[in-house]
Structure 1
Amino acid sequence: MRSHRSDQSGGRPRSTARRSLQALVLMFAMVVGTLPVTGAAQAHGTIINPATRAYQCWNTWGSQHTNPAMQQQDPMCWQAFQANPDTMWNWMSQLRDGLAGQYQPSTPDGQLCSNALSRNNSLNQPGAWKATTVSRNLTVQMYDQASHGADFFRVYVTKQGFNPATQKVGWGNLDLITTTGRYAPAQNISFNVSIPSSRSGSHVLFFIWKASHADQTYMWCSDIKI
């Protein structure tokens, strides 16, 4: 009957070492399976200043998303985390493919802030979203982890009198204020936006990003205070 043979260094038998390696591989797979789905396949981007709703929630509360203080201090992020935490973990993945430029027909009123993705519907809800204080002439900053580049960005602002605390954003609430040109692939893209002098107080900036690597469209809302 053949006994197990130690390796030349005098270590453990090969079969024991093999079982240990298999156990480590299994443990690694189990750990990976519990992590948020933010790997390369999900790596895209968003507007980080003024922060989009999902990014603001992740940036503020991602490391303490179970903190009960969020419910009082940031109730809109609280309801978003309760509805679907993946909306915040995957703040960079709010995209749809194949819209062929039909942005308004493909995106119903009241679903603009989620890019008509049901999993992100919490972002459409009106309420006391944390707002970024901006001047009328601001520099928008986008972080694109995958460096897709852009065919263009379109920026809209809500009309004076719109109340983000009580109203969902619809196309009729918006005015187009900026359409950019193309941008080469880069992780960091910035461009200037001028907000009309007729706007003051609380508003929403609505962004459309048409990525340049494919027919892939992103839409977001950023809450601002002018």
Structure 2
Amino acid sequence: MRKQSPLAGRPRSALRRPLQALVMLFAVVVGALTWSAPAQAHGTVVGPPSRAYQCWQKWGNNHTNPAMQTEDPMCWQAFQANPDTMWNWMSALRDGLGGQFQARTPDGTLCSNNLSRNASLNKPGQWKTTNVGSNFSVHVYDQASHGADYFRVYVSKQGFDPKTQTLGWGNLDFITQTGRFGPAMDYRFNVNTSGYTGHHILFMIWQASHIDQTYMWCSDVNFG
């Protein structure tokens, strides 16, 4: 006598449920991978570190420590406003600006690259500074090796106070624009300045090469 299949007699709906569950699980996994991709595809200036990178570097593994509130109040307010600003330090980008940086980035939004989720980076205050001389090296880390059409470098004017003033285009001195960089994970170039002392904001624009994609950052430096 032929043995009956163990599946025989089961309703088709019962057979479909495991398949539907597998399809749903696959969709969730694919969706998670798609969502996380941007966090692994960009970069920032790591030396002197941008505000978001500096906060992530110092407090990322210790971001719930209440000591941050007194030791590093600007990072504290940034973490309170939106921790994703630090977790995605590599994703402060906008697409399709067409080189209209000033026209499409209002005063007071430069440090956040006019991204509302990163608005905490625009706040004036006691941001931690990196000591530099009049001539110093800049290091940009690019996770996906996009390349650069150029980097544009500015320094806040002598007399501008990052502790009390919000940065606008009129507060900046243009220093230099680099040439093109081929795809790489690390870009380094020298910046030559004169006449600056004390706490300043180093403001940089990275025009990526792979598409019209623009990054803007503020790094806090102390000219000795």
Give the structure 1 partner of residue 126 of structure 2. 128
1:43 Cα deviation from its structure 2 partner = 2.0
Take 1:67 and 1:151, find their aligned partners in 2: how far apart are those partners? 40
- Work out the CA distance in 1 between the residues paired with 2:156 and 2:36: 31
CA distance, structure 1, for counterparts of residue 174 and residue 132 of structure 2? 18
Which of 61, 64, 88 is residue 62 of structure 2 equivalent to? 64
Q: Which residue of 2 aligns with 1:54?
A: 52
Instruction: Specify the SS of the correspondent of 1:71.
Output: helix
Contact 1:149 1:211 in 2 (8 A): yes
Checking the alignment, whether the CA contact within 8 Å between 1:84 and 1:119 is kept in structure 2 is: yes
Partner in structure 1 of residue 72 of structure 2: 74
Tell me, in whole angstroms, the C-alpha distance in 2 between the residues paired with 1:102 and 1:40: 23
Q: Deviations over 1:11-55 (max 9, x none)?
A: xxxxxxxx8xx89x96xx69x96x9x6535652000000000000
Report the count of equivalent residues.
207
CA displacement, residues 64-106 of structure 1 (integer Å, 9 cap, x when unaligned)? 1111111011000000000000000000000000000100000
Q: Secondary structure at the match of 1:184?
A: coil
Q: Which runs of 5+ in 2 are unaligned?
A: 8-17
Q: Distance in 2 between matches of 1:51 and 1:219?
A: 13
Q: TM-score, normalised by structure 2?
A: 0.85
Contact 1:97 1:215 in 2 (8 A): yes
Deviation at 1:135, TM superposition (A): 1.0
Contact kept, 8 Å, 2:40 with 2:144, in 1: the verdict is no
Task: Quote the residue 2:199 is aligned against.
Answer: 202
Distance 1:38 1:192, change over 3 A: farther
Indicate whether 1:219 and 2:216 are aligned: yes
AA matched with 1:169: L
Is 1:45 the counterpart of 2:43? The answer is yes
CA RMSD of aligned residues (A): 2.4
Unaligned runs of at least 5 residues, structure 1? 5-18
Instruction: Give matches, 1:1-226, under 5 Å.
Output: 38-40=36-38, 42-196=40-194, 198-226=195-223
Deviation at residue 2 of structure 1 after TM alignment? 5.6
